[in-house]
Structure 1
Amino acid sequence: MTPENIAGMAYINGLDAVALTDHNSCKNCEAFLEATKKHGVLGICGMELTTAEEIHVLWLFESLEAAMRFDAFVEEHLLKVKNQIRIYGNQLLYGPGDRCLGEYDNLLIAGTDLSFEKMPQIWKEYGGIYLPAHINKPTTSLLSSFGMIPPDSEFTIYELNRPADKEQLCKEHPYLRGKKYLSDSDAHRLIEMRTEDNAYVLEVEEKSFEGIKRSLLL
């Protein structure tokens, strides 16, 4: 799952756009954008943030600069737990052409001290798009952590890893009615990346982050 390989697989699979959403980090996004540009695929900088409640929240950004600003903010709130390579594997940092620049020492899946209720406030400062990740997953999701959707929630889109669950979820959680959802590969291995035959299809006015944002949020 190096930046070059992700971009190359997205091209081979016939995808128009692909996002890099490492856990609690955007540090490989610059190399990723270089790679997607070479293949003619729209690359989107992102992050899968872990809240203090162990809820995964997906963030997508309009530019590398916005993503790295958010990355610096999240790094301040990461739990200071050293990565144990023998257990969790290497956390490699890449430059263009998959040139390894080193490793990140703190364990990225350890999470942050940021609570879910702070997400709207953080969004107002850092922009982009945020949405609860794999909302119907039995672990690390909004519903698995809270068992409900907080009534003061402000998110307008959510990620759903099984679209067939949408109708039942909306019955159980009326907040979701009328909200759009995103269904993506959430790939942790190259073989898990979707192809053009089963990818999420989104009608956009233009092939850009802004085009995707308008289609998702309006």
Structure 2
Amino acid sequence: MHLYYDLHIHSALSPCADDDMTPNNIVNMAKLKGLDLITVSDHNCGRNVEAASKVAEQAGILFLPGIEMTTAEEVHVLAFFEEAGAAREFGDKLYADLPDIKNKPDYFGNQLVLDEHDEVIGTLDKLLISALPYDIDASCKLIREYGGYSIPAHVNKGANSMLANLGFFPPQLSFKTIETVPGLAIENDVSRFEQIHSSDAHNLWQIAERERYLEVDEANVRTILQKLCD
């Protein structure tokens, strides 16, 4: 079975994303593009995951809950969870531990918490794109403690990636899959990893086309996590 996917989409909660990246707009665009599987993975918080999960379920699109962490080294790591509630709980832990740096909406952008009807039900004050106080080892350990799975994000980007910021893949972390950006050079040997290619969309038009798929036996979150991480 082929599942066409985009496993790295930011909602309007991320200050760097457009305000129209609402749960319904994201899901409807994914449906228009023929995607079967999506993830909403905002920076260091999961307050919009549950709303997006509900909308995706109603639309018949498989939803993999996620968050994009920023480690102390400013490395981005995708954390995936089996249930939206677990992602929300994990994200609340991250938000509580973020440094007390206030968001400046006029400069960084809004941080909108939305419900499944795209109504704004709140905003967050702390700047979500700040680095967390955990190094890469502690970050991946924390993801596992909350029942999640980690994948290094956009490893061949020139900033906020494992290769750009660390220069190597820490061997003790034993990742199965990495996220890479097509068309960008990868100087390190990545042949031992599976690779996914997602959009890292911050606006609706950046959401992936129906181009890349996961081949799985069953269309459910557990099977997808086993494919990517176990």
Q: Same fold (TM over 0.5)?
A: yes
Does 1:13 find its partner at 2:25? Answer: no
1:194 maps to 208
User: CA-to-partner distance for each residue in 1:98-134, whole Å, 9 max, x for gaps?
Assistant: 0110211111011211110213422331122211100
Which is further off, 114-123 or 94-103?
114-123
Q: Is the CA contact 2:50–2:88 (under 8 Å) kept in the aligned structure 1?
A: no
CA distance in 2, matches of 1:212, 1:26: 20
From 140, 144, 152, the counterpart of 2:160: 140
Q: For structure 1, which segment, 151-160 or 107-116, has the greater mean C-alpha deviation from structure 2 after superposition? A: 151-160
1:131 partnered with 2:151? yes
* C-alpha distance in structure 2 between counterparts of 1:86 and 1:164, whole Å: 32
8 Å contact 1:159–1:182 — kept in the other structure? yes
Task: Show structure 1 runs of 4+ deviating over 3 A.
Answer: 163-166
SS in 2 for 1:206: coil
- C-alpha spacing 1:54/1:15, structure 2 compared with 1 (3 Å): same
Query: Which residue pairs with 1:169 in the alignment?
Result: 188
Q: Which has the higher helix share?
A: 1
Cα 1:212–1:134, aligned 2, differ >3 Å: closer, same or farther?
same
TM-score under structure 2 length normalisation: 0.86
Q: Does 1:93 align with 2:113?
A: yes
CA distance in 1, matches of 2:140, 2:79: 12
In the other structure, the counterpart of 1:38 is 58
Alignment gaps of 5+ in structure 2: 1-20
Q: 1:29 is matched with which residue?
A: 49
Please tell me whether the aligned partners of residues 77 and 114 of structure 1 are also in contact (alpha carbons under 8 angstroms): no
In 2, Cα distance between equivalents of 1:141 and 1:111: 13
* AA at the equivalent of 2:51: A
By relative contact order (CA 8 Å, sep 6+), the higher-ranking structure is: 2
In the alignment, does 2:196 pair up with 1:182?
yes
Residue from 81, 104, 127 that aligns with 1:84:
104
The aligned residue for residue 173 of structure 1 is none
How many residue pairs are counted as aligned between the two chains? 210
**Counterpart amino acid of 2:100?**
K
TM-score (normalised: structure 1): 0.90
CA RMSD of aligned residues (A): 1.6
Call closer, same or farther: CA 1:108–1:123 in 2, change over 3 Å.
closer
Alignment equivalent of 1:149, drawn from 165, 169, 172: 169
Q: Distance in 2 between matches of 1:120 and 1:50?
A: 11
State the partner residue of 1:75: 95
Looking at structure 1, the residues matched to 220 and 171 of structure 2 have their Cα atoms a distance apart, in angstroms, of 33
**Secondary structure in 2 matching 1:98:** coil
